[in-house]
Amino acid sequence: MNFDGRVAGLSALAEPVRLRIVDLLGVGDASPGELRAELELPSNLLAHHLKVLEDAGIVSRHRSHADKRRMYLRLHRDSLAGLLPAASSEPGTAADRVVFVCTANSARSQLAAALWQEASSVPVASGGTRPGSAIAPGAVAAARRHGLKLVQERPQSLDGLLRDGDYVVTVCDAAHEELSPADPASAARLRLAGVSHWSVPDPVAVGTAAAFDAVYEDIAGRVADLAPRLNADRATAS
């Protein structure tokens, strides 16, 4: 990062609310409404802080792949190289298991679970809010291209899958919006309880190898960031 970029980044973070926003987005993507509820800020003030972060290249926004009226904000950790604490220096969050969730449990959550199994000793599972009949051929091919072993042979339903101690990560906007309470305040509490969201586009809708590879790279980066921050619960590990 050049000198001017470092100055812009440090200036953007030199404000408690903006630093808190970065901390929250470090856990997962969030809508402005979810951030507003968690921070208890008026809309105009939140918009100001988000603009500063966006102008510095720290945060970006995109429209939901499900509900087109909703926007999601994403943190770009590469823009903060050297400014955030290393994962090894942070107190880890304990979890019995990580569960990745998407709608059909046929692509994104399957790739995420397989990547997680390679990156962490914390057990992993995946499920769908409306599971499909089979894993998408494009996901199977992408896993093969990247030398990745899928965790499950077929999609499974989220019904009855979740249990106390799970750390849940939704990897598609439709599943996140289906599972999240309608009011942002409740959604914010859900985040604090161990539910994160990664707004990953659906490669099945595009169908190309390039789309699946892009999703693989996106999820791989997010898994690599989260894995050092999540520790196996002592009761599970023993």
All domains of the chain in start order, with CATH:
3-80 (1.10.10.10), 87-237 (3.40.50.2300)
CA 163 – CA 96 distance, rounded (Å): 9
CA 199 – CA 169 distance, rounded (Å): 10
Residue 98: other Cβ atoms inside 10 A: 26
- Give the C-alpha distances (Å, rounded to integers) separating 20 from 16, 92, 103, 215: 6, 18, 30, 28
**3-state secondary structure string, the chain?**
CCHHHHHHHHHHHCCHHHHHHHHHHHHCCECHHHHHHHHCCCHHHHHHHHHHHHHCCCEEEEECCCCCCCEEEEECHHHHCCCCCCHHHCCCEEECEEEEEECCCCCHHHHHHHHHHHHCCCCEEEEECCCCCCCCHHHHHHHHHCCCCCCCCCCCECCCCCCCCEEEEECCHHHHHHHCCCCHHHHHHHHHCCEEECCCCCHHHHCCHHHHHHHHHHHHHHHHHHHHHEEECHHHHC
Backbone angles phi, psi at 62, to 5 degrees: -150, 160
Nearest partner of 99 among 171, 24, 154, judged by Cα: 171
CA 65 – CA 200 distance, rounded (Å): 8
The pLDDT value given to residue 163: 87
Q: Using only C-alpha atoms, what is the Rg of the chain?
A: 18
The pLDDT value given to residue 185: 53
Q: Is 192:183 a contact under the CB 8 Å cutoff?
A: no
Backbone angles phi, psi at 27, to 5 degrees: -80, -40
CA atoms within 13 A on the CB side of 56: 30
User: Which residue do the tokens 């809309």 mark?
Assistant: 43
The pLDDT value given to residue 178: 87
| 10-residue averages of pLDDT along the chain (238 residues) | 71 92 92 93 96 94 92 90 52 82 97 97 95 97 97 94 90 89 52 76 96 98 91 52
What does pTM read for this prediction? 0.80
